Amino acid sequence: MIKTVSITLQVVASFWQEYQPECRIKSKLGTICIFRKPKTQQEICHCLDKVSYMKDAVFDDFIDRLRSESDIVSIVSDYVSLKKKGKNFWGCCPFHSEKTPSFSVNPDKGFFYCFGCQTGGNVFNFLMRVENITFFEAVKLLATKLNIPLPEREKTPREQAKEQELARIYQVNELARDFFHACLTKTNYGIPAREYLANRGISAETIDFLKLGFAPPLWDKLSLTLSERGIPLDILLKSGLSAPRNSGDGVYDRFRNRIIFPISDVRGRIIGFGGRVLDNSQPKYLNSPETEVFNKRHVLYGFDNAYKHIRDLGQVVIVEGYMDVITLYTQGVKNVVASLGTAFTPEQARNLIKLNAELLFSYDSDAAGQNATVRALDTVRSLGGTIKVVTIPDGKDPDEFVRKHSSQSFQELLKSAQPLLDYQLDQALKSDDYSTVQGKIAVVGKLTPILAETDNAVAVNAHITRLSQVLAVDESALRSEIRKYIVQFKKDKNVKSGKPINIALLYKQPTPAVIQAERQLIRLMCDDLSLIPYILAKLSPQEIQGTLQQEIINFIVNAYNMENQVTQAAITAGVNSLSEKANNEFSQIMLMENQFDDVVQLVDDCIKTIRLAHLTTLYEQHRLMADELERMGDSNFLQELAESQRIKHEISKLHH
């Protein structure tokens, strides 16, 4: 197992950790590309091939030139109507629907930030988001806007071969789409499929718009047709449209006697297909296999058509099947996608969360659909998405409900969608007879982990109160169960990893005053880099409580330690290597208005606020642990108690 790999390029810094969900190749330009858990030397070499062109210092200089010569206000004005107010320019955010402008652009710092949806970044981030393109596509687009020619570098034979192969796969997928569509709309083979779709309410206009198709009930009709068009056999196999015969002699069509749903990426390129049988044959649904361009963990059916509507509405409806998407889309619910008949994946969730969209799950109302809903919620919750659940009162799925009632009725269901905690509480109450003691215990047992792992203290308190009333159980008893779960869960988790238990951090979030002090400190460091050694002498980055703020400060400190002559331009240029949320936070900080008389006094005040908060948190941690250990009869509580008193003394000294 390869745990860590360092890539030495002029501006490329990478990290590769076995227990992280992904490997990001990063540079001062931002995240270049992402690879999922590479484990072999071959996979590592493949990753390096994808960033090999970054070795050229010419490219780095080109990016610096683009950044310095671009006017972010001018670029953003192509998409947003801006008006100057003070030092900044303001307009309505292009990333979510709003009537009052909350989108701000700072021309001096070169950052934008929306105070409504908390999206921010530099000119490259803006183009990537507004055009839904990659970093390098944003570079090309900005260069075109500035009329600056792109630097050229001769591609290796391997790069040229890979580029040609991908182009052929996209080409053969498009040819296959047209073949299937023609079979459905223009041949006798497609008559049963046309009748089936008509019975499901799918019009000819919808068939043409979505390019639905039909695979004829023949073993190799598609393969022979494409071969006659000059498509090589290896491309047919690599596209997943053909499969080798067991005898080793020739190939056969993967899709036969099925309605075909072309699957596109967000740029509209055909990357794969889904097929549905017309009878009771198995499997009922069949997707393209994994290929160079198709990975169903990352793909959502209908995302290419729904993308703009999701971004405009700030909301996405997630369903299970192709027909659900088609019916809802044609009936006016344009912000709808499906997860290709598989379990909803973290990769699919990230594609939606990065649009700042609220996720509304509307899976089938049968037992399988409800189980799929629970699995999907578990997947998304850990990623921090805003989740709601649409409950369909009758009808097996959204498609049936809309056809039986109306799209307006479904829109009403969307409006009444339940927040995640409400849904989970209701499901737990429905699952057991809580009129009995055993039923009450069962319900509390199911909800305790959910409430304990929820970050929103207001929501948790409200649900504890509601649960107390419904179950006729004292609130203090419920809170005691949650507290015991938190302590035990954290204890088990940290014992396994050899870490100390940190109870206080499970209960308390940084106060607004602390967050403001941390933000102010970041802004002061960026405005005057000479303050960095002074601040480091008085404050450890580990004392920062805000997760995003700590990430930003660690980044600044690391940049300073690597190069004592680091410039403000280098700091602002390198923030793209931060996580998306930290990058947004940094953009907001850079747009803060700074008004003060004494810089050193302000720095000292911020440090004092942060240190007091950190020490108070440590004090609560050791005090609570002492109480818990004493309750459990563990003599180690004396050590915890002594440590808490020592910290209390430090707090007292800092106050005076």
**Most confident residue range from 377-381, 494-498, 604-608, 613-617:** 604-608
**Most confident residue range from 48-62, 190-204, 516-530:** 190-204
Q: How far apart are CA 592 and CA 520, in angstroms?
A: 9
Q: How far apart are CA 403 and CA 327, in angstroms?
A: 8
Q: Which residues pair with 31 in a beta bridge?
A: 26
CA distances from 637 to 617, 632, 640, 641, 643 (A): 18, 9, 5, 6, 10
Average pLDDT, the chain: 82
Q: How far apart are CA 198 and CA 183, in angstroms?
A: 16
Q: How many Cβ atoms from other residues are within 10 Å of residue 311's Cβ? A: 22
| Res. 628: pLDDT tops 80 | no
Q: What is the pLDDT of residue 143?
A: 92
Instruction: Identify the weakest region by mean pLDDT among 18-27, 288-297, 423-432.
Output: 18-27
Going by C-alpha positions, the residue among 259, 277, 276 that lies closest to residue 184 is: 259
| Res. 460: pLDDT tops 80 | yes
Q: What is the pLDDT of residue 583?
A: 86
Q: How far apart are CA 294 and CA 315, in angstroms?
A: 25
User: What's the CATH fold of domain 512-655?
Assistant: DNAb Helicase; Chain A (1.10.860)
The residue whose two tokens read 């490329």 is 12
User: What's the CATH fold of domain 303-416?
Assistant: Dna Topoisomerase Vi A Subunit; Chain: A, domain 2 (3.40.1360)
* Confidence at 275, pLDDT banded by 50, 70, 90: very high
Q: How far apart are CA 126 and CA 120, in angstroms?
A: 8
Q: Which residues pair with 243 in a beta bridge?
A: 252
* Confidence at 508, pLDDT banded by 50, 70, 90: low
| Res. 72: pLDDT tops 60 | yes
Q: Is residue 10 within a helix (H) or strand (E), and if so which, with residue range?
A: none
The CATH number given to 63-153 is 3.90.580.10
Q: How far apart are CA 320 and CA 340, in angstroms?
A: 7
| Res. 161: pLDDT tops 60 | yes
* Confidence at 502, pLDDT banded by 50, 70, 90: very low
SS3 245: coil
Confirm if 50 and 95 have CB atoms less than 8 A apart: no
Confirm if 319 and 337 have CB atoms less than 8 A apart: yes
Task: Over range 37-50, report the average pLDDT.
Answer: 43
Instruction: Identify the weakest region by mean pLDDT among 98-107, 135-144, 369-378, 385-394.
Output: 369-378
Query: How much of the chain, in percent, has pLDDT values that exceed 90?
Result: 34
Residues 125-152: tens digit of each pLDDT: 899 888 878 888 889 899 999 999 888 7
Every domain of the chain and the residues it spans: 1-55, 63-153, 157-287, 303-416, 424-501, 512-655
Residues 347-377: tens digit of each pLDDT: 898 888 888 889 999 988 766 667 777 777 7
Q: How many CA atoms lie within 13 A of 240 on its CB side?
A: 20
- The more confidently predicted of residues 498 and 391 is 391
Q: How far apart are CA 429 and CA 427, in angstroms?
A: 5
Q: What is the pLDDT of residue 286?
A: 93
Residues 516-559: tens digit of each pLDDT: 999 999 999 888 888 888 898 888 888 898 888 999 988 888 88
| Res. 642: pLDDT tops 80 | yes
| Res. 13: pLDDT tops 60 | no
Q: What is the pLDDT of residue 229?
A: 93
Q: Is CATH 3.30.70.20 the right assignment for the domain spanning 157-287?
A: no
Confirm if 175 and 229 have CB atoms less than 8 A apart: yes
Q: How many CA atoms lie within 13 A of 468 on its CB side?
A: 14
- The more confidently predicted of residues 597 and 405 is 405
Cis peptide before 533 (omega within 30 of 0): no
Residues 223-266: tens digit of each pLDDT: 999 999 999 999 999 999 999 998 778 899 999 999 999 999 98
- What predicted TM-score, i.e. pTM, was given to this entire model? 0.67
Q: What is the pLDDT of residue 141?
A: 92
